[in-house]
Amino acid sequence: MRACEIDRFYSPGQCLRWYAAIPARVSCRRFQGELTTEMLTALNYTAARVCLPGVRIVLAECGESLFVRVPVFGGISGAKRCACIFVKKQQPHAMTLAGISGEAFVLEAQSMNVATCWVSGTYRRKLVPVEPEEDEKLAALIALGTAAPESPGTKRRRKALADICLSPPADWPHWAYQAAEAVRQAPSAVNLQPWRLNYSHEVLRLLCKRPDSLDAGIAMLHAEAAVSPQDRHWEWGEGSCTAHLLVTEKKQAAD
């Protein structure tokens, strides 16, 4: 098995900040006004810092006509800015790395009180404001801005923790339980939560219907934020297993 690019990439300070942002972050579909120059500067700085190898995030101006209205969820209104997530076409695990990097950007934005919404397919490609490089493809967009006060976000609906775990999470070590709970709170396409977690032989495994996907990457970033700054190690999995996470718990010295 090969080590994941996420392994030791983000600092404990970043992860702790993102972990604190997870409970507050909801998908926003109604925006208002414009972000301040200071916020845009900070977001551009963030975009440059969070990208794993092969991933590029570019902020750009946009209009709400970029986004397609979706049944049940509705459209995105008032958006004036978006983040375009590009990934190298030949990059192994390309979509997973894009999901990790994009969710790191989303949680950093949340820590600045900037609202966001992942948009993975419901946009008009001809209106995307930034062109990919020749060796890149567009993985997703993230609408961002200030949430409209009358609609701060979409109500979060999530499965029970036991429903996404293949064995009772109450029997797992604390770090694995905490990582699973963070994954449970992660956003996913049409809120399907297409992942399962299993703990055995000191390893937490993330299994997804599509092992290389934005959803898988978003889940990995949430788990990473939950277990930092502990001694942890990520490896890519095989088949339906996206990745393995091993955390070495520090043993307290005897009195």
- Domains contained in the chain, CATH given: 12-147 (3.40.109.10), 161-248 (3.40.109.30)
pLDDT tens track for 195-216: 999 999 999 999 998 999 999 9
Write down the pTM of the prediction. 0.94
Contact between residue 190 and residue 209 where contact means Cβ atoms under 8 Å apart: no
Query: Long-range CB contacts (< 8 A, 24+ apart) of 165-170?
Result: 165/196, 165/197, 165/198, 165/199, 166/196, 166/197, 166/198, 166/207, 167/198, 167/199, 167/200, 169/197, 169/199
Tens place of pLDDT per residue across the chain (255 aa): 689 999 999 999 999 999 999 999 999 999 998 999 999 999 999 999 999 999 999 999 999 999 998 877 778 999 999 999 999 999 999 999 999 999 999 999 999 999 999 999 899 999 999 999 999 999 999 999 999 986 555 557 789 999 999 999 999 999 999 999 999 999 998 888 999 999 999 999 999 989 999 999 999 999 999 998 889 999 999 999 999 999 987 654 444
pLDDT at 189: 84
Distances (CA, A) of 3 to 6, 236, 242, 243: 8, 6, 12, 9
What's the chain's average pLDDT? 93
Percent of the residues in the chain that have a pLDDT greater than 90, as a whole number: 85
